[in-house]
Structure 1
Amino acid sequence: MKILQALFFPPEQPGGVSSMIPYVQDRFNKIGWPMELFSLPKRVRGKGQEEVVFDTFDPKPFEGHPIVDKYLQTYRDYVWWTKLRMTKRFDLVHAHHPIAALVMKQLYPDTPLAMTVHSSYERELILNGKIAEGGPEHKFLTSIYRELEHKADRMLTVSESFRSYLTPYVDRPEAIGVIPNGFDEKRFKPISHENEVVQLITVCRLVPAKGLDILLHACAELKRRGHPFVLHIIGDGPIRPELEQLALQLDLYDDIIFYGYMLHPEEFMPFFDVFVLPSRAEAFGSVFAEAALCWLALIGTNVGGISEQIENGVNGLLVPPEDPIALSDALEKVITDPVFRYNMARHAWNKAKRDYSLHRVISQLKQVYIDLKPES
């Protein structure tokens, strides 16, 4: 069976898809199922000219809003690029972005299509202050889910909580399969070490949705309580200047290191002690599984896929979102009790190896592909 993994941007971009799909490709190729990747280069902008037509709703009333116009133009660009560069036919397409899925089904209607919804673009835009909940951009983006349901032969997502999120926007939520992301454990090499001062690390895009303002306020409270630490922030994004200014205002300049974007943070994480990320929303939160495989204690917010990965007090600590005091209390607990911290990290590693192995993902995807294309 020849399979195409249709992505949005190239797989070197940060995020859960990039952490998994190239390794999925490698495993399938090794077992004799040829698999290729396809994506839209960032340099392709404004090329497509075709009208965008959907079956379940009319996009025209939403035009004139910048987010919608950009989305539709990207759709046209994906059509243009696919027609230009796609020279092979595949037995099955597995898409990992709505635009990729809908374009592939438009151009190859007879090819079975699986679609994994990895995240909520509209929720991120709301949390980042870019669009209003219930506004036209929000309505347009959530309408895409029913279009995907109509077009895809199989819809998947990455957590039970995200399937619940999709429920109001589709007709048959019970038909959406759940396959959590998986990781090649050979990429992760825990290192035995003892840090004199506890080293905290977070890895994410620097956008409001990730809650790093809450983390900095929690760290300021931690410092007021007299607990030494160093916070390492790996990632980049539009609010980095604001976060750096907030660190200065909170007298945290000497306690925080901003690294910027890093392609393979898993090579860096094993030298630290605690992974913390107080996201305001998260469909899955791949970085928590990655941190667990590096043998780090986990602290996250009780939202989305994070709460499915962390059993509070066993393999990590869960705190409410938007609560710097609760986050500071959790940090204080892991900083002052190294035995508790070590045991949580050990349980996190065990759970991640058991539940988020790439072997498990390969097995589940194979069954999905066989169901969609049984004669292959």
Structure 2
Amino acid sequence: MGEIYMNICIVTEYFPHSENLEIKGGVEVCAFNEAQQLSKYNNITVLTSNDENNTDDFYIDNIHVICCGNKRNYTQKGSFTKRLLFMKDAYAVGCNLKDMDLIIGYNFITYPVAWKISQKLDIPIVARYHDVWIGRWIDTMGVSGIFGEALERYFLKQDIDLILPVSDYTKNNLLPYFPGERIKTVHNIVDFPSVTSKPYTNPTIACVARLVEYKRVEDLIRAISIIKDSIPKIQCKIIGTGPLESQLKQLSKELDLDDNIEFLGFVEKHEDVMKVVNSSKIFCLPSVVEGFGIVIIEALSLKTPFVAAEIPPVVEASGRKGGLFYEPKNYKQLAKSLLKLLTDDKLYSQLQKEGYIQSKNYTKEAIGSRLNDIFNNIEEKKK
């Protein structure tokens, strides 16, 4: 373990600017947690986007973070020109890095950049893969999805040394496009939150999601409208921002849920996000597209049972422990599942216990060790 000390470059579109995890999505959590673990054994340099919080470069402990491209806000859709400028600048910066042994890309925007840098520096490339979107880009992201579709197809045709999907579900989706012998599943690290907070006075459902179409937050809002008939004081706290924010707030208003649903927007500190989950009775993940569902595991570690759309990555992550599933996009079934958990104390207690045990399969030490061994093996083969 740690016998080979490597210089590793991580390319990720977004990265926090301190240990407070000022981030907005699962990919960024993954990149940060893995950079921290790998930095115990290796020299880590991160290439990421510039934003209003960052200087040109800075350090988080011994991780060197270099900001590339023009300053820009976080986005999951569009921003085509600024993303291209980021890719161009990250490539230029990466090509000037000295003595790199390995480069890792963390999302669709950074995969081609990492590959180009690997070609220039003649070093191995690894892709940390969260989901396969081939054939779904345009339906999910609109017109801007054309760009993503082209990038993903282009990347998977290249001579990549290793792809590390975060789930077996993603691995299986990769197999039609990439050789199976160069794919290894490594689950996400879950940096279990250590938080203390009092339970909310009224029964509360927490949701943490970007407010975009495929997260299906509207299904939760409609479910709350149904639950309100049986539990008038039901509360729902939604953490996240996105292009559908105004639309979802309007839906909440139309359904007369102003006193039941609170939109908390972007919560800067990850600890504060987890306090909301910890204080809530149930965590809800209505999303129909996930690479892994890390927040489900975080909720289980806090003994907060979940209700989630039944999609393979979340089923795999949870092992069907600690929560209930419902048919994706079926808000009536979602409401029924939530009501069952809110009213069945015996079931609730059972799910708390089994979910907490399941969460222990994702410790940062275990995943960090596995990643480091894999990267050491790549370096040994190169020699």
TM-fit CA distance, 1:129: 5.6
Determine if the alignment matches structure 1 residue 366 to structure 2 residue 375.
no
Report the counterpart of residue 25 of structure 2 in structure 1.
15
Quick check: 1:277–1:299 contact (8 Å CA) kept in 2?
Answer: yes
TM-fit CA distance, 1:111: 0.9
- Classify 1:247/1:125 alpha carbon distance in 2 versus 1 (closer, same or farther; 3 Å): farther
TM-fit CA distance, 1:261: 0.4
Separation in 1, partners of 2:79, 2:224: 40
Determine if the alignment matches structure 1 residue 130 to structure 2 residue 130.
no
CA displacement, residues 107-131 of structure 1 (integer Å, 9 cap, x when unaligned): 3321111111123466775454614
Separation in 2, partners of 1:13, 1:121: 22
TM-fit CA distance, 1:139: 4.8
Separation in 2, partners of 1:242, 1:341: 33
Report the counterpart of residue 243 of structure 1 in structure 2.
248
Match of 1:105 among 111, 115, 120: 115
Share of identical aligned residues, percent?
22
Report the counterpart of residue 34 of structure 1 in structure 2.
43
Separation in 1, partners of 2:212, 2:283: 18
SS of corresponding position for 1:163: helix
CA displacement, residues 301-355 of structure 1 (integer Å, 9 cap, x when unaligned): 111311112344x4110111010111011000111123322321222121112x2
Quick check: 2:161–2:182 contact (8 Å CA) kept in 1?
Answer: no
TM-fit CA distance, 1:42: 4.8
Quick check: 2:169–2:312 contact (8 Å CA) kept in 1?
Answer: yes
SS of corresponding position for 1:327: helix
5+ long unaligned stretches in structure 2: 1-5, 17-21, 53-67, 72-76
5+ long unaligned stretches in structure 1: 48-66
Separation in 1, partners of 2:135, 2:214: 9
TM-fit CA distance, 1:145: 4.5
Quick check: 2:319–2:358 contact (8 Å CA) kept in 1?
Answer: no
Match of 1:330 among 334, 337, 354: 337
- Classify 1:29/1:122 alpha carbon distance in 2 versus 1 (closer, same or farther; 3 Å): same
Number of residue-to-residue matches in the alignment: 346
Quick check: 1:75–1:103 contact (8 Å CA) kept in 2?
Answer: no
Return the letter of the residue paired with 1:302: E
Identify the range of structure 1 (334-343 vs 117-126) with the bigger mean alpha-carbon deviation.
117-126
1:157-236 paired onto structure 2 within 5 Å: 157-168=165-176, 170-173=177-180, 175-185=182-192, 187-189=193-195, 193-226=198-231, 228-236=233-241
Determine if the alignment matches structure 1 residue 4 to structure 2 residue 12.
no
CA displacement, residues 254-290 of structure 1 (integer Å, 9 cap, x when unaligned): 1011010013112432111210011122111121112
Q: TM-score, normalised by structure 2?
A: 0.81
Report the counterpart of residue 355 of structure 2 in structure 1.
348
TM-fit CA distance, 1:198: 1.3
- Classify 1:162/1:23 alpha carbon distance in 2 versus 1 (closer, same or farther; 3 Å): closer
1:286-297 paired onto structure 2 within 5 Å: 286-297=294-305
Determine if the alignment matches structure 1 residue 117 to structure 2 residue 129.
yes
Return the letter of the residue paired with 1:362: G
Separation in 1, partners of 2:37, 2:370: 13
Report the counterpart of residue 80 of structure 1 in structure 2.
89
SS of corresponding position for 2:242: coil
Separation in 2, partners of 1:228, 1:358: 38
Quick check: 2:167–2:187 contact (8 Å CA) kept in 1?
Answer: yes
Separation in 1, partners of 2:203, 2:163: 42
